[in-house]
Amino acid sequence: MKLISAFGNKLQIVGEEELPLSYSQTSQDEHRGFELSESMSEVLLMDKCVQEDLRSLNIQDLTVWVDPLDGTSEFVRAQNDPSLLEQVTVLIGITYKGRPIAGVIHQPYYNLLSDSKVGRSIWGINGVGVFGINTCKESPSSGPFAVTTASHSNEMVDTALKALQEKI
């Protein structure tokens, strides 16, 4: 919603969830967006690293794709298993003339069940890199491994995993 109030109809926003039809400045209190204040200062420091062709884009050529609750199933099932909340994300993708240029994965419930700071944002910009994530020094497995979806498994995913397993 902060994107709408900041850019109005100049910026195309595509969301998985419907945006309220009567959104106005007076109803901002009803709509809570997440803040990326810590990450934002990190993003601004990257300005000199961003490719020249990404520095002066026409806002009308940008599209912001928003999935405000990726992991709906996990969110619902978390009533019985709060650890599932860590799988819930807010996804944001930015394209320029249909070409992906940046993205954000926000995990609002990351570290919820620990004494650490809750929530994290992982973001990346083409040609700059990925930030906000601590990577492992060692692989958790001594051999190859595959990562796939937990919530959208189907016969095609199972077939692909079996084919990979046969190659090991």
- What is the Cα–Cα distance from 105 to 123, expressed in whole angstroms? 6
Residue 74 within any structural domain of the chain: yes
**pLDDT recorded at residue 4:** 78
Tell whether 16 is in a known binding site. yes
Spatial neighbors of 153 by CB under 8 A, at least 6 apart, are none
In a domain, 16, yes or no: yes
pLDDT at residue 103, as a whole number:
94
Domain that holds residue 28: 2-133
70 labeled part of a ligand binding site: yes
Consult the annotation and say whether 69 binds a ligand. yes
pTM of the complete model: 0.66
Candidate ranges 13-17, 65-69, 98-102, 123-127; pick with highest mean pLDDT: 98-102
Which is it for the CA torsion 159, 93, 1, 12, positive or negative?
negative
* The pLDDT value given to residue 28: 38
CATH number assigned to the domain comprising residue 129: 3.30.540.10
pLDDT band at residue 114 under the 50/70/90 scheme? confident
139 lies in some domain: no
Q: Is the pLDDT of residue 37 over 60?
A: no
